[in-house]
């Protein structure tokens, strides 16, 4: 049985969990592409700005693809879930290098086996589901309605 109807449904579930944790200035950085449809309902519900971060398949941030964030703001990194944690680690590390002081990873699914590695980059991990071991993310969604990078960038630009 799937935990989420869609990526947006997963975002709505996360937004209620984040509402009680967000204090003061915060910004959302979605991992492009599939973090965008998860992050959109969060940004809308919490009234927060939304930007995107793009990583290459070669496991490195693309030049200029990590946004600058406001000094002192908490940054919430959102993705469609964690399998290996590589993308989340890359984005978190790049944001730390840019001086972000408080980093929160918000994902619908984060296997418990991945959390110790992620805690090296993040102050807090917010996840709806924390299975013992990782599975393909599709397993958690009734409709794993992924988008491509062009669509993600179009949605971000429209905001």
Please give the residue that has the higher pLDDT: either 13 or 61: 13
How far apart (Å, rounded) are the C-alpha atoms in residues 12 and 55?
24
Q: Where are the beta strands (DSSP E) in the chain?
A: 26-32, 50-54, 74-78, 102-109, 124-129
**Interval 114-149: pLDDT, tens:** 999 999 999 999 999 999 888 889 999 999 999 999
User: Which residues fall within 8 angstroms of residue 49, CB to CB, at 6 or more apart?
Assistant: 27, 28, 43
Domains of the chain: 7-158 (3.40.50.2020)
Residue identified by tokens 């917010």 is 126
Confidence of residue 56 (pLDDT cuts 50, 70, 90): confident
Q: What pLDDT score does 59 carry?
A: 55
Q: How confident is the model at residue 1 (pLDDT cuts 50, 70, 90)?
A: low
How does residue 61 score in pLDDT terms, banded at 50, 70 and 90? low
Task: Find where tokens 């990590």 sit.
Answer: 66
Among residues of the chain, what percentage have pLDDT more than 90? 72
- Give the burial class of 96: count Cβ atoms within 10 A of its Cβ; 0-12 exposed, 13-18 middle, 19 or more buried: middle
């Amino acid at each position: 049985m799937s935990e989420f109807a869609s990526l947006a449904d997963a975002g709505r579930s996360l937004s209620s969990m984040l509402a009680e944790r967000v204090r003061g200035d915060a910004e959302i950085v979605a991992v492009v592409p599939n973090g965008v449809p998860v992050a959109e309902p969060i940004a809308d519900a919490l009234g927060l700005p939304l930007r995107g971060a793009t990583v290459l398949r070669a496991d490195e941030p693309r030049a200029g693809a990590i946004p600058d964030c406001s000094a002192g703001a908490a940054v919430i990194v959102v993705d469609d879930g964690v399998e290996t944690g590589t993308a989340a680690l890359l984005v978190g590390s790049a944001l730390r290098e840019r001086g972000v002081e408080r980093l929160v990873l918000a994902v619908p699914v984060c296997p418990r086996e991945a959390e110790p590695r992620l805690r090296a980059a993040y102050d807090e991990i917010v996840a709806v589901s924390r299975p013992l071991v990782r599975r393909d993310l599709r397993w958690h969604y009734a409709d794993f309605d992924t988008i491509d990078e062009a669509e993600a960038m179009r949605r971000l630009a429209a905001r």
